[in-house]
Amino acid sequence: MKTLLLTLLFTSSLSHSFEMAINDTQIAPMATIYYTKDGAKIRQSGTLYLLGQYFAKFTQEPTIYTVIKRKNADRLLAQGKIQSLCYMTPQWLKFKENQVVFSKPFMVNRERLI
């Protein structure tokens, strides 16, 4: 977690804001996506929103939430259009191991069918 926060602090200091991308397939309680005439937005609730607020408090810079389509994640990361991408795994992206840096998982996701 310390490595992740230091990386975010360094990235934030270069741009004066922290851009946090959230893929549009997220559902509550992780994130609630809604749509307006201006595009997709994230509600000010949910785990990923709170995580972004924590980063903003830690880095003293605002967090900009960007809702993206999951299929565009590779391209947006490669082009540097997003700084971070939440709730993704290396297997979902088409990068080589050294092209992007993944933090160690700090939230356990367990889905059960009852």
pLDDT (tens digit per residue) in 53-93: 998 999 898 999 999 988 898 888 888 888 888 877 778 88
Strands 33-36, 84-85: pairing is: unpaired
Query: Once rounded to an integer, what is the mean pLDDT over residues 19-28?
Result: 78
Task: Please state the rounded mean pLDDT for residues 15-22.
Answer: 75
- Could you tell me the residue ranges of all domains in the chain? 2-92
The reply to whether the predicted model has a pTM over 0.85 is no
Within the chain, what is the greatest distance between any pair of CA atoms?
Answer: 47
* Distance separating alpha carbons of residues 96 and 86, to the nearest angstrom: 18
26 with 48: CB under 8 angstroms? Answer: yes
Q: Which CATH number fits domain 2-92: 3.40.190.10, 3.40.50.1860, 3.40.50.40, 3.40.50.880?
A: 3.40.190.10
Using alpha carbons, list the distances in angstroms from residue 72 to 24, 43, 96.
10, 21, 17
Strand partners of residue 68:
23
